[in-house]
Amino acid sequence: MRRLFPVTELTVPPRPGGAPGGGTDAVAGSGADREWGFDELAEAYAYPSASGGAPEPWLRANMVSTLDGAAQHDGRSQPISHAADMRIFGTLRGLADVVVVGAETVRQEGYRPPRAREAFAARREAAGQGPAPAIAVVSASLDLDFSLPLFTAPLVPTLLLTGAAVAPDRVAAAEKAGARVVIAGDGTGVDPARAVRALADLGHTRLLTEGGPRLLGQLVAADVLDELCLTLAPMLTAGDAQRIAGGPSVAVPKRFELVSLLEEAGFLFSRYRRT
Ligand SMILES: NC(=O)c1ccc[n+]([C@@H]2O[C@H](COP(=O)([O-])OP(=O)(O)OC[C@H]3O[C@@H](n4cnc5c(N)ncnc54)[C@H](OP(=O)(O)O)[C@@H]3O)[C@@H](O)[C@H]2O)c1
Q: How many domains does the chain have?
A: 1
Q: Compute the distance from residue 108 Cα to the ligand 1 centre, in Å.
A: 9
What is the per-residue pLDDT for 51?
A: 76
Would the CB of 145 count as within 6 Å of ligand 1?
Answer: no
Would the CB of 103 count as within 6 Å of ligand 1?
Answer: yes
Q: Write down the pTM of the prediction.
A: 0.94
**pLDDT tens column, 67-116:** 999 999 999 999 999 999 999 999 999 999 999 999 999 999 999 999 99
What is the per-residue pLDDT for 267?
A: 98
Residue 166 lies in a domain: yes
Residue 173 lies in a domain: yes
Closest Cα to atom 28, ligand 1: which residue? 215
Query: How many residues are listed for the chain in this entry?
Result: 275
Pocket test for ligand 1, best of 214, 219, 243, 269 (most atoms within 8 A of CB): 214
d(CA 216, CA 214): 6
What is the per-residue pLDDT for 208?
A: 98
Element (H, E) at 152: helix 149-152
Atom of ligand 1 nearest to the CA of 101: 20
What is the per-residue pLDDT for 1?
A: 94
Closest Cα to atom 41, ligand 1: which residue? 140
d(CA 148, CA 145): 6
CB 111 within 8 Å of CB 210: no
Element (H, E) at 73: none
Would the CB of 75 count as within 6 Å of ligand 1?
Answer: yes
Could you list the residue range(s) of the whole structural domain that residue 236 is in? 2-8+37-46+57-274
b/e map of 102-130 (b: 16 or more CB within 10 Å)?
A: bbbbbeebebebbeeeeebeeebeeeebe
CB 68 within 8 Å of CB 236: yes
**pLDDT tens column, 245-256:** 999 999 999 999
d(CA 190, CA 184): 5
Preceding peptide of 212 cis, ω within 30°: yes
CB 32 within 8 Å of CB 23: no
Residue 94 lies in a domain: yes
CA atoms within 13 A on the CB side of 188: 6
- What does residue 209 show for φ and ψ, rounded to 5 degrees? -115, 140
What is the per-residue pLDDT for 22?
A: 45
Residue 120 lies in a domain: yes
Q: What does the DSSP assignment read for 223-234?
A: T---EEEEEEES
Fill in the amino acid letter for 7. Answer: V
d(CA 7, CA 36): 17
Residue 22 lies in a domain: no
Work out the burial of residue 233: count CB atoms within 10 Å of its CB; fewer than 13 is exposed, 13-18 middle, 19 or more buried. buried
Residue 27 lies in a domain: no
Mean pLDDT by 10 residues, the chain (275 residues): 88 58 43 84 93 88 98 96 97 98 96 95 96 98 97 96 98 97 97 98 98 97 98 98 96 97 98 97
Residue 198 lies in a domain: yes
Residue 25 lies in a domain: no
Which residues 6+ apart lie within 8 Å of 82 measured at CB?
A: 231, 233, 264, 265, 267
Q: What's the CATH code of the domain at 250?
A: 3.40.430.10
Pocket test for ligand 1, best of 86, 138, 191 (most atoms within 8 A of CB): 138
Atom of ligand 1 nearest to the CA of 62: 3
CB atoms within 10 A of CB 245: 24
Q: Compute the distance from residue 49 Cα to the ligand 1 centre, in Å.
A: 30
